[in-house]
């Protein structure tokens, strides 16, 4: 968890995927000097309870959209759609 913020900044990530306890670890981790520099707009995954979901969304990373999936099949379908959307956005900015 120590390198999370540094990696997000290094690779200019705007979306993260969480599975199970990852978000809980991030919410409960000690504050990092780089946390306020993060530009995470989307988080998606499954296995997140309501209390951690709220803290993750507005308390730590100010993530605007947290997509919670309850089924692995749904996660795959929506994840693939999101990847296609990101690809189209990147292509639009490149042209």
Summarised one tens digit per residue, pLDDT across range 2-49 is: 788 889 899 988 888 877 678 788 888 888 888 788 888 777 777 777
Where do we find the tokens 């639009």?
A: 92
**C-alpha span between 54 and 88 (Å, rounded):** 30
pLDDT 10s digits, 64-95: 666 666 666 666 777 778 888 888 888 888 86
């Amino acid at each position: 968890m120590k390198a999370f913020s540094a990696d997000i900044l290094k690779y200019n990530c705007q979306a993260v995927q969480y599975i199970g306890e990852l978000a809980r670890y991030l919410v409960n981790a000690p504050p990092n000097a780089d946390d306020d520099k993060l530009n995470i707009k989307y988080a998606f995954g499954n296995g997140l309870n309501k209390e951690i979901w709220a803290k993750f969304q507005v308390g730590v990373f100010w993530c605007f959209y947290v997509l919670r999936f309850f089924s692995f099949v749904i996660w795959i379908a929506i994840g693939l759609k999101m990847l296609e959307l990101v690809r189209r956005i990147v292509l639009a900015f490149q042209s």
